[in-house]
Amino acid sequence: MKLWSKWCLVLAAAISGVAMRAQRQPVDWVNVHIGTGSGAIGYGGSMPFVVPPFGMTDWTAQTRQNKLGTVSYKYDDTSISGFMGTHQPAIWMGDYGYVTLMPEVDGLKTNPDERKLSYKHADEVARPDYYSVRMDAGKGRTIRTEMTATDRCALMRFTFPENAASMIVVEASRPGVAGFVQVDSARHEVSGYNPDRMDAVLGPMPLKNFKGYFVVQFSKSFAGSGTYGPAEGERRPETGAYVRFATAQGEVIEARVGTSFISVERARANLEAEIPEWDFVRVRRALAARWNAKLREVGVEGATDDQRAMVYTGLYHALLYPREFSEYGHYYSAFDDSIHAGESYTAYSIWDTFRAEFSLLTLLAPERIDGMISALLQNYKEGGWMPKWPNPSYTNIMIGTHADSLVAEAMEKGFKGFDYGVAWDAVYKDAMTPPDGDTMRRWYDREPHTPYEARGGLTYSKVLGYVPNDKTAESASRTLEDAYDDWCVAQVAKKLGKMDEYEFFLKRSLNYEHVFNSATGFMQAKNSDGSWAGIDEGWTEGNKWVYTWAVMHDIPGLMKLMGGRDIYNSKLDEHFRGGHNIHKNEPSHHYGYLYDYSGEPWKTQAKVREIAAAEYGNLPAGLDGDDDCGQTSAWYLFTALGFYPLNPASGEYLIGSPLFARMTLKLAGGKEFVVSARNNSATNVYIQSATLNGKTLAIPMIRYSDIVGGGELRFVMGARPSKWGAEWNPASLRDEMSRAGR
């Protein structure tokens, strides 16, 4: 009888656990702390944002002063100095137009180090739709802050102890920045602007009109207020305001915060449109509903709780960027410093996100793709070029003109809500027009006060076929990435029926061959006289190992250069065995899938599983590197599904090894694409057979049209490698051109 009772208790507990998991909504699985801490996997470059998908302003607790190389929130920190509306998209980028609020007791403190209050994670709740923390205010007192948000606004609640002079500081700007703030006691309001752009030195645009505007409205009249600003002899001459209240124990003061890049009046209008009432619960529920609607587009079965958290957190990260930069039909352009009618986005991180993040958005946010491409084309019309890394203007960060890839991918996938003629003009200029002063500069990474970089060294490569190392920095990487972009420009030309231009850029996309050194079997930089540069010279955030495999548009051609499959596979084995695959940086993201081309797809199946297990975890340090606007998360999501866009603009996806028994994509038009994997487990990583919509799939590749058309991709998994997919032998680009008579 005792055994029976014990068994009943175990069964009841199991049933209860299943029921609890079933009741959880997708947003409940998101762990916004993933990627915010330092540890065995990552160093903490992400932030726990309260914001809708693609929202304009992110809201987070501020545990340190953010700057280039430092984000606002670090899980390892133990104190908070503010609650911030930030636009910093990644650790290596700066912030702009930000605003910070901080509750205080015991006198005014404007210095962040003086006003910070300690907290513990046990007293913190961090979710996409809600943030809450209790901070130690000393003398046995606590101050609680809660936040929820809309696209451009936030609603905050501050719970104070009994105090005759409880305060909320509104920091408009930091030392050295001429911000502005004013208090309107009759309206219970503080408003102002912050003109700071931390990346301003990295591009050619002075943007004299740029400002991040804000309006803060409070739920209670002020007992007192004031402003502070630069004064002679001040150690930290910030600009800001404070409002004072007499509070009873546990009294709640609420603050509505509206942001804008157009004007204070527009910030107030945004606030009235998005948070018209003092109803914190309603705003939070609406935000949770928006996240659930998006997160439900991906279903997962057969995952552990930790894996489910990683899937939905990855989706959360991937759906943050690019962020909206327009406000109800108008936007401030950071490319001509004026206001325009239309829709706009920023924070693309294109050098990172062209690889997989944008491809994920074509599946999960197709309703935004036309607007995102149109925004890039507006940037071209207003500033002269499509940007590399708008934040929110040109920054000249990274190399190549990979907006060409985004345009080509959108066209390949049938998106038509943008101007194809302007798109051609933009990509053609990228490919054919050198940047100003091209032969007078080396175009060092993050070199300040330069013109827009575009394809640095293009003047030389148009003559030599490669970017010379003695003339231009990062020359070998530029040659390789420009070759891929030329392939993308060729695809745009083909879509428009420009066959002469198609053939021209297709041939030029073979320029990668110029920097392959057959004597060493590696890509290598060349000098302008044709001599080889040093093997360790000419790279962007990488080396010969990282960039030898960078020919995303012609892997079969690379294989031929190396001497065939056996040599290619041996070198790829050495690449992984020697620890050269640096997953925390994006150029390595497709390398696990390279065996699909060379007759050994079972190695891809094992390798991508290995990378997923090693580089991702449900813990604060569970993301290697920083997420780079969703790219690192997009890799995990595609790998979980069992396929990856190695050449994103081609519309092709290489098969890996699905992580779970079943995943479902809910697509536009009510269609679903299901990936099922029979016998899937941590040890059964190898594909034994596959079918697509009931028909045998013999090659390790599917297309975008297969996915968006709806249907089912079925795998049978096993513990041992099989020869499934090994017979695939795609032609090289040069062979395809030869057969076509080009």
Sequence ranges of the domains in the chain: 46-295, 299-718
Give the start-end residues of each E strand in 73-130.
79-80, 82-86, 99-104, 117-126
Tokens describing residue 567: 């040599």
Q: Identify the band that residue 229 occupies on the pLDDT scale cut at 50, 70 and 90.
A: confident
Total Cβ atoms within 10 A of residue 238: 22
- The listed range with the strongest mean pLDDT (6-10, 225-229, 313-317) is 313-317
Q: Give me the mean pLDDT over the 230-258 stretch.
A: 86
Between 475-495 and 499-508, two packed helices, what is the crossing angle to 10 degrees?
Answer: 160
Instruction: Please write the tens of the pLDDT for every residue from 569-627.
Output: 999 999 999 999 999 999 999 999 999 999 999 999 999 999 999 999 999 999 987 89
Exposed, middle or buried by CB within 10 Å (0-12, 13-18, 19+), for 347? Answer: buried
Distance CA(18)–CA(22), nearest Å, equals 6
pLDDT in tens, 168-199: 999 999 988 989 999 999 999 999 999 999 99
Backbone phi and psi for residue 233, each to the nearest 5 degrees, phi listed first:
90, -10
pLDDT greater than 90 at residue 17:
no
Q: What is the pLDDT, as a whole number, of residue 231?
A: 63
Query: Is the pLDDT assigned to residue 20 strictly greater than 80?
Result: no
Which residues are CB-contacts of 274 (< 8 A; sequence separation ≥ 6)? 150, 151, 152, 153, 258
Count of beta carbons in the 10 Å neighbourhood of residue 628: 27
Q: Are 401 and 430 contacting, i.e. CB atoms less than 8 angstroms apart?
A: yes
Taking 60 as the threshold, does the pLDDT of residue 144 lie above it?
yes
Average pLDDT over residues 121-144: 97
How far is 453 from 540, CA to CA, in rounded Å? 15
Please state, in angstroms and rounded to a whole number, the distance separating the CA atoms of residues 156 and 130: 10
C-alpha 239/C-alpha 176 separation (Å) is 9
Distance between CA 308 and CA 312 in Å, rounded? 6
How far is residue 383's CA from residue 336's CA, in Å, rounded to a whole number? 6
Q: What is the mean pLDDT of residues 126-142?
A: 97
CA 377 to chain CA centroid, nearest Å: 20
Say if residue 16's pLDDT is above 50.
no
Q: Predicted confidence band at 8 (pLDDT cuts at 50, 70, 90)?
A: very low
Instruction: Give the span between the Cα atoms of 104 and 72, in whole angstroms.
Output: 19
Q: How confident is the model at residue 40 (pLDDT cuts 50, 70, 90)?
A: confident
Which of the listed CATH numbers 2.40.50.140, 3.40.120.10, 2.70.98.10, 3.30.160.20 matches domain 46-295? 2.70.98.10
Predicted confidence (pLDDT) at residue 5 exceeds the cutoff of 80: no
Query: Exposed, middle or buried, 126 (CB in 10 Å: 0-12/13-18/19+)?
Result: buried
Question: 318 falls in which pLDDT band (50, 70, 90)?
Answer: very high
Task: Please check the confidence at residue 203 and state whether its pLDDT lies above 90.
Answer: no
pLDDT at 196: 96
Token pair for 429: 């200029």
Quickly tell me which residue has 């070199």 as its tokens: 447
Averaged pLDDT for residues 204-226 = 96
The verdict on domain 299-718 having CATH code 3.30.2080.10 is yes
**pLDDT per residue over 472-519, tens digit each?**
999 999 999 999 999 999 999 999 999 999 999 999 999 999 999 999
User: DSSP code of 365?
Assistant: -
pLDDT digits (tens, 9 = 90+) for 514-555: 999 999 999 999 999 999 999 999 999 999 999 999 999 999
Residue 69 · residue 175 · CB < 8 Å: no
Q: What is the dihedral of CA 419, 424, 426, 432, to 10 degrees?
A: -170
Helix or strand holding residue 358 (H, E): helix 357-364
Tell me the C-alpha distance between 261 and 195, whole Å. 10
What is the predicted pLDDT for the residue at 232?
Answer: 55
pLDDT at residue number 625: 77
> Do 103 and 115 contact (CB within 8 A), yes or no?
no
The whole-angstrom separation of Cα 297 and Cα 415 is: 20
- The tokens 């045998």 sit on which residue? 696
Residue 3 has pLDDT above 60, yes or no: no
Tokens of 246: 């007499």
Tell me the pLDDT of the chain averaged across its residues: 95
DSSP annotation of 67 reads B
Residue 492, phi then psi, degrees to nearest 5: -65, -45
Pairing of strands 189-194, 131-138: unpaired
pLDDT surpassing 50 at residue 1 = no
Return left, alpha or beta for 671; rule: phi > 0 is left, psi -120 to 50 is alpha, else beta: beta
Which residue from 301, 377, 87, 320 is spatially nearest to 212, judged by alpha carbons? 87
At 623, which amino acid appears? Answer: L
